[in-house]
C-alpha cells in the first residue's frame, strides 16, 4: 500500500489530477451535498465540474485543502472523469481538544467504577476470596483505526484493571481487500481475535471474487499474533490453518485464586475436528477447575431478559448457531463444569438472554465498536462525542458466580434506555441489576 503521510504530499498528488493553478473556491459545490450521503466515511470524492477533491469526514464533505492534520492511505486510484470514490482511504484527524477517550472517561470518574468492578468479596470468616477477572470486549471494529487506537489508549491507561482484550470478529471495513495493516498500527497485536464474516468476504471493490485460501486467512489474522497471545492451539494448527484456540487466565493464590478459560471458536469452518477439540478442551477445563467463557462472531437464538436495557428491542431472527457447541457446553455443565456465558458480535446491537435450546446458558452480544457502520447500531453515534466509542468491560467473579458488565462510551439506545451496567448470576441465570 502506498502511503502519503503528509498533507503536502497529498496536495502534490492532487495537482496531478486537477492541474496547477486551479482556483480553490472554499465551498462544497451543489453537485456534492454538504453531508456524505451514500459516500462512505473516510473516502475521497472527485467533483469533475469544479475539479476538486472532497473528503468524507465525520459525515460531512470537506474540501481536501480544509482537512488538516491528516494521514491518507491510498490503495487504488481509478479514472476520475466522473465523481469517484478512492478505494481503501483512511483519514486520521487529530481529535479536537477535550474529545479524547480519556477526556470522556477521566480517572476521577473511572477509577471508582473500576475499583468496584475488581472489588473482592469476603466470606463469612472475613477472608478475601477469588480475584475478579476483567475482560475488555470489542466487536465489529470494521476498519476503524481511530476507534481501535482509542480502545488501546483506554486499555493502556487502565491496564491494572484489565486482564485481556477480545475482539469478536469483523475487523476489516467490509471485504478482504480492505486490508489489515491498521490492526497493528493501532497497537492491537495482543488482542485476542475471533473470525467474522466480513474478515473472509473474499471480494474486491467491484464485488468480484478474490482468490484467497485458508492459509491466506491464517497468515493474515493468526500467524503474526498468536505467539504473543500465549494461546493454546490445536495440534498442527499452522499447517492446517485452524482459526480456533483457547487461552487461560490463572491469577492469585490460595483463596484469592481465580481461573478462567477463554475459548475462541471459528463459526465459518465448523467440522468434526473442531467439535471434538471443543469437547476435549471443556473436559480439560473441568479437570483443572477452570470456568469457561466462549467467544464467537455469530450470535445465538435467545430468550431475552425482559428487565434489561442491554436486551435489544429489535428482532434479529435466528442466527447461524453452532448447535453442536451448545450441546458440548450442556454436557460440560452436566458434569459439573462452570460455564459463564457466550460472547459474540455481528448484529451491531447489544443483546442479552438465555439460549432457547439450553436456557442454563447465557449469551451476550455487543454493539458495534467501530463507527464506520454505526448506522446499524442501537443508538446515535458521532465522533467527538462520548458515543464515538462503544465497548464493554466484563468482570467474572467465581466466588459469587456473578458476571458484571460496564459499558464504556455509547450507552443510550434510540428508545432512551440507558445501558451503563449490568450484573447476572451465571449459576442461576438470574438478572441481579441492569441500568
d(CA 127, CA 270): 45
Phi and psi at residue 150, to the nearest 5°: -70, -35
Range 49-55, long-range pairs (CB < 8 A, 24+ positions): 50/25, 51/17, 51/18, 51/19, 51/22, 52/18, 52/22, 52/24, 52/25, 53/14, 53/17, 53/18, 54/28, 55/91
Q: What is the pLDDT of residue 373?
A: 74
| CA 224 vs CA 4, 136, 237, 238: distances in Å | 25, 21, 14, 11
Range 283-287, long-range pairs (CB < 8 A, 24+ positions): 283/332, 283/335, 285/261, 285/332, 285/337, 286/332, 286/335, 286/336, 286/337
Q: Which three cell numbers stand for residue 380?
A: 446515535
d(CA 188, CA 58): 23
Phi/psi-derived region of residue 366, left when phi > 0, alpha when psi is between -120 and 50, beta in every other case = beta
pTM here? 0.81
Torsion of CA 10, 11, 15, 17, to 10 degrees: 40
Q: Count CA atoms closer than 13 A to 189's CA, side-chain side.
A: 10
**Sequential pLDDT tens for the chain (435 residues):** 333 333 333 433 443 333 333 333 333 334 445 667 666 666 666 555 555 566 677 777 766 544 433 333 333 333 333 333 333 344 445 667 799 999 999 999 999 999 999 999 998 999 999 999 999 999 999 999 999 999 999 999 999 999 999 999 999 988 999 889 999 999 999 999 999 999 999 998 788 999 999 999 999 999 999 999 999 999 999 999 999 999 999 999 999 999 999 999 999 999 999 999 999 999 999 999 999 999 999 999 999 999 899 999 988 777 788 999 999 999 999 999 999 999 999 999 999 999 999 999 999 999 999 987 777 788 899 999 999 999 999 999 999 999 999 999 999 999 999 999 999 999 999 999 999
Q: Which three cell numbers stand for residue 254?
A: 490460595
| CA 330 vs CA 65, 325, 408, 432: distances in Å | 59, 9, 32, 23
Helix, strand, or coil here: 332? helix
Sequence-distant (6+) residues with CB within 8 A of 58 are 41, 382, 383, 384
E strand or H helix at 396: strand 390-397
Architecture of domain 101-434: 4-Layer Sandwich (3.60)
- The 10 Å CB-count burial string (b at 16+, else e) for 6-32 is ebeebeeebeeebeeeeeeeeebeeeb
d(CA 350, CA 309): 9
Q: Which three cell numbers stand for residue 249?
A: 487466565
For the chain, give every domain's residue range: 2-91, 101-434
Kindly give the interhelix angle for 323-334 and 272-287, rounded to the nearest 10 degrees. Answer: 20
**CB of 3 closer than 8 Å to CB of 9:** no
Q: Is 75 exposed, middle or buried (0-12, 13-18, 19+ CB in 10 A)?
A: middle
Amino acid at each position: 500500500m502506498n502511503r502519503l503521510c503528509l498533507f503536502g504530499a497529498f496536495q502534490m498528488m492532487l495537482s496531478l489530477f486537477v492541474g496547477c493553478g486551479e482556483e480553490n473556491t472554499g465551498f462544497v459545490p451543489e453537485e456534492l451535498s454538504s453531508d456524505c450521503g451514500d459516500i462512505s466515511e473516510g473516502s475521497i470524492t472527485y467533483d469533475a465540474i469544479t475539479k476538486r477533491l472532497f473528503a468524507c469526514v465525520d459525515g460531512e464533505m470537506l474540501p481536501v485543502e480544509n482537512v488538516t492534520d491528516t494521514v491518507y492511505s491510498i490503495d487504488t486510484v481509478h479514472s476520475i472523469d466522473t465523481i469517484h470514490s478512492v478505494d481503501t482511504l483512511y483519514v486520521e484527524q487529530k481529535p479536537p481538544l477535550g474529545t479524547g477517550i480519556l477526556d470522556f472517561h477521566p480517572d476521577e470518574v473511572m477509577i471508582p467504577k473500576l475499583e468496584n468492578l475488581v472489588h473482592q468479596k469476603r466470606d463469612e470468616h472475613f477472608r478475601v476470596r477469588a480475584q475478579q477477572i476483567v475482560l475488555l470486549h470489542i466487536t465489529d471494529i470494521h476498519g476503524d483505526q481511530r476507534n481501535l487506537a482509542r480502545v488501546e489508549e483506554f486499555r493502556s491507561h487502565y491496564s491494572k484493571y484489565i486482564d485481556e482484550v477480545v475482539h469478536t470478529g469483523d475487523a476489516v471495513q467490509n471485504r478482504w481487500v480492505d486490508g489489515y495493516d491498521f490492526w497493528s498500527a493501532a497497537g492491537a497485536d495482543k488482542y485476542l481475535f475471533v473470525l467474522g464474516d466480513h474478515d473472509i468476504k473474499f471480494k474486491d471493490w467491484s464485488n468480484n471474487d478474490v482468490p484467497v485460501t485458508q492459509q491466506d486467512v491464517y497468515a493474515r489474522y493468526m500467524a503474526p499474533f498468536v505467539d504473543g497471545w500465549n494461546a493454546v492451539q490445536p495440534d498442527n494448527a499452522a499447517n492446517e490453518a485452524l482459526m480456533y484456540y483457547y487461552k487461560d487466565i490463572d491469577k492469585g493464590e490460595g483463596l484469592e485464586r481465580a481461573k478462567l478459560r477463554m475459548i475462541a471458536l471459528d463459526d465459518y469452518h465448523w467440522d468434526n475436528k473442531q467439535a471434538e477439540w471443543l469437547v476435549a478442551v471443556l473436559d480439560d477445563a473441568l479437570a483443572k477447575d477452570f470456568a469457561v467463557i466462549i467467544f464467537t462472531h455469530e450470535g445465538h437464538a435467545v430468550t431475552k431478559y425482559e428487565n434489561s436495557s442491554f436486551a435489544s428491542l429489535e428482532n434479529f431472527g435466528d442466527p447461524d448457531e453452532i448447535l453442536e457447541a451448545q450441546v458440548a457446553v450442556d454436557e460440560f455443565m452436566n458434569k459439573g463444569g462452570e460455564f459463564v456465558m457466550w460472547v459474540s458480535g455481528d448484529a451491531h446491537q447489544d443483546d442479552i438472554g438465555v439460549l432457547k435450546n439450553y436456557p442454563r446458558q447465557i449469551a451476550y452480544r455487543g454493539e458495534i465498536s467501530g463507527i464506520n457502520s454505526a448506522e446499524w447500531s442501537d443508538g446515535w453515534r458521532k465522533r467527538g462525542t462520548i458515543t464515538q466509542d462503544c465497548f464493554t468491560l466484563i468482570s467474572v467473579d467465581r466466588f459469587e458466580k456473578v458476571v458484571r458488565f460496564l459499558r464504556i462510551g455509547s450507552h443510550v439506545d434510540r428508545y432512551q434506555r440507558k445501558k451503563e451496567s449490568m450484573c447476572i448470576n451465571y449459576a442461576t441465570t438470574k438478572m441481579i441489576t441492569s441500568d
